[in-house]
Copies of this chain bind each other. A is one copy, B any other.
Amino acid sequence: MVTKGEQTRDFILKKAYSLFVKKGFKQVTMKDVCEITGMSRGGLYSHFSSTKEIFETILKNMTQKDQLDFQGEIKKGFSAVTIMDNALNLLEKEMCDSDASLSEAMYEYSETVGSDMMTELNEISVKNWSVLIRYGIKTGEFNEVDVSEIVSILLYSYQGIRMWSRIIPVSNKTIRAVVMNIKRQLYKNKGKGDE
């Protein structure tokens, strides 16, 4: 049951996302968003009051994707390996899509607005991944790894590739290697046909 208002919001977010990817954060104006969405000033402002609000909504949505709702997936009874496979597939797809990286915009955003929101989202993300890894250790699917090590390696390799793929071409093989390394460290039965 998606309302018309929600549809419009999603449409604005999608169009604005492409603007932030292309121009960073600082150079995007509400006028740009009007132009790319074909909306009037009044129409746009009834949904968002600033590019800051739009950008922050995009960031929040990125960390709240269904595939990253680990608590929810665990409650539904999925295995740790299934949840992790889905999540890593999502990250791998994102890493391969260098044209859609918001790294530059995030950098400019934090320079302009401050780091509070990014810090908060990062903490949520660390907690979230930690829950999943501990769940896998508990079910016996994952090795008894050092949780904070794996979470750090995972999140920062991801961010490193997202940023560097805007600087140099990063091959899909390299991205695959990063994902495989995480799986190799976690999964007790590594390589069940996915290597």
Copies of the chain in the assembly: 2
Q: Which of B104, B149, B158, B167 contacts A118 (CB 8 A)?
A: B167
Cβ of A61 within 8 Å of any chain B Cβ, yes or no, is no
The smallest C-beta distance from A62 to any residue of chain B, in angstroms, reads 14
Verify B166–A155 contact, CB threshold 8 A. Answer: no
Stretch at the interface among A1-9, A32-40, A81-89, A173-181: A173-181
Verify B166–A178 contact, CB threshold 8 A. Answer: no
Provide the residues of chain B in CB contact with A135, threshold 8 Å.
none
Cβ of A71 within 8 Å of any chain B Cβ, yes or no, is no
Verify A110–B167 contact, CB threshold 8 A. Answer: yes
9 contacts between A and B (CB under 8 A): A106-B167, A110-B167, A110-B168, A118-B168, A146-B180, A146-B181, A152-B174, A158-B160, A160-B160
